[in-house]
Amino acid sequence: MLRELAELTSDEAGAQRVAWTDVWQTARAFLREQLRELPVTIRTDTAGNQWARLPGGGGTVIIGSHLDSVPDGGWLDGAYGVMCAVEVLRALAARGPLPCTLALVEWADEEGARFGHSLFGSSAVAGTLGVADVRELADGSGLRLGDVVTEHGVRLDDLDEARQEIRGARAYLEAHIEQGPVLEREGLPIAAVSGTVGVERHRVTFRGQTAHSGSTPMDMRRDAFLAAAATALAVRESAVRHRGVGTVGAVRLRPGIVTAVAGETVILVDQRHPDGGALTAMLGEAQRASREAASAEGCTVSWEPVFRARPQPFADELVSVVREVCTEFTGQGRVLPSWALHDATQMAGVVPTAMLFTSSTRGISHAREENTPEEHLRLGVEAFYRTVSHVIARTAASAGPTI
């Protein structure tokens, strides 16, 4: 299924399943095609998420991931988790009536590649999506999110209705490729995920004075770029010291020509850490470094948050189930944090949640080269099947309250 999907939705530059495009809809139709023979009811909620429910006894276990990709993306990011869920649904449907309902979800717009807002569908269902914050977001060609998603059947004014989809949910489980090098380095095919790390993402603007590159003496400059460059080095230094990660992934200079000292420089800073206290310290250190660098260059600096997420631990009892299953398959119950955000981050706020990772070759993702050894992909499906089976049995056995 994954190879067929890649064939249908990729070109020579990689996967092109960007949310709210025709190629993405082709991928979603492919999913419906895989589910056609199964005794499931398929519906799309007001946020554009596709659900396939296999009805059973009381309580619901939800499994899934996303089909959208970044432009020129990989064949496995998101798609692997969706196809794992299809495979598990197919196997369990063949086993006869289940003691609880099993729901497959394919989340809309996990990547935020077109409008810059990640986790669209899952945050709508979790009740954390601010409609006013996203309606006016524009894509590269100036089209508004509010208008584009309407063409894909989303009803922004009725977004709250999507929250009904998780009524009665007892667990959310997601399989995903690691998108990092840790499992490969440790020689492990699969592992349990403890949760997703916290994120601080800020737009930092330095202002100095635009001046002629030739006639302005070095000691009379107010070079906004040099202040930004010193800050970028401080972001790295702080991340290394706290064992987190810090990235300056974008920079814009004004006027941005070689014959002028930059009077204005804007950088985007992304910092991540599994521990909230360490993340706060990293942000504070970067801000202090930026003020010192600005003052040394005769510039001003201002910080503006773009996106923030608190560290989101997963449910201990479900992480244990995944870890035990991984131990059965590999002899090692490795648990690692996810440095990337996932739809599971949103779900973990409202439903007990856990994830299973498979290794990523050379740790590369969001790129055409993204890959995982086939035997690891197969092992991941089998481990996911066993995890879901355990969780269904536990759900059926427990008389715990539903949400």
Binding residues for Zn ion, rule: CB under 5 A, are: 77-78
Dihedral-angle region of residue 382 (phi above 0 means left; psi in -120 to 50 means alpha; beta otherwise)? alpha
Q: Give min distance, CB of 191 to Zn ion, in A.
A: 16
Q: Is 81:174 a contact under the CB 8 Å cutoff?
A: yes
Please, which residue, 108 or 235, has the CB nearer to Zn ion?
A: 108
Structure tokens at 273: 């850490």
| Residue closer to Zn ion (CB basis): 119 or 188 | 119
Nearest distance in Å: CB 225, Zn ion: 34
Nearer residue to Zn ion within complex by CB, 78 or 263: 78
Q: How far is the CB of 139 from Zn ion (least distance, A)?
A: 20
CB-wise, 98 or 119, nearer to Zn ion?
A: 119
Q: Which is nearer to Zn ion, 78 or 121 (CB)?
A: 78
Residues 6 or more apart in contact with residue 172 via CB below 8 angstroms: 62, 63, 344, 347, 348, 351, 352, 353, 354
- Distance separating alpha carbons of residues 53 and 58, to the nearest angstrom: 13
Task: Report the C-alpha gap between 138 and 120 in whole angstroms.
Answer: 15
The values of phi and psi at residue 78, to 5°, are: 85, -55
In the bound complex, what is the minimum distance in angstroms from residue 291's beta carbon to Zn ion? 36
Burial of residue 144, with CB atoms counted within 10 A of its CB: 0-12 exposed, 13-18 middle, 19 or more buried: middle
The least CB distance from residue 78 to Zn ion, in Å, is: 4
**Buried/exposed 230-269: b ≥16 CB within 10 Å, e otherwise:** bbbebbeebbeebebbbebeebebeeeeeebbbbbbbbbb
Q: Which residue has the tokens 């737009």?
A: 203
Residue 234 to residues 228, 243, 262, 289, 293: CA-CA distances in angstroms? 10, 14, 20, 6, 10
**Residue nearer to Zn ion on the CB measure, 78 or 246:** 78
Q: Which residues pair with 245 in a beta bridge?
A: 272
Q: Specify the residue, 138 or 182, whose C-beta has the smaller distance to Zn ion.
A: 182
Instruction: Write down the least CB distance from residue 70 to Zn ion, Å.
Output: 9
Closest residue (Cβ) to Zn ion? Answer: 78
Closest contact distance (angstroms) between CB of 124 and Zn ion is 17
H-helix or E-strand containing 378? Answer: helix 374-397
**CA–CA dist 209, 141 (Å, integer):** 31
Q: Which is nearer to Zn ion, 77 or 178 (CB)?
A: 77
Smallest separation (angstroms) from Zn ion to the CB of 293: 35
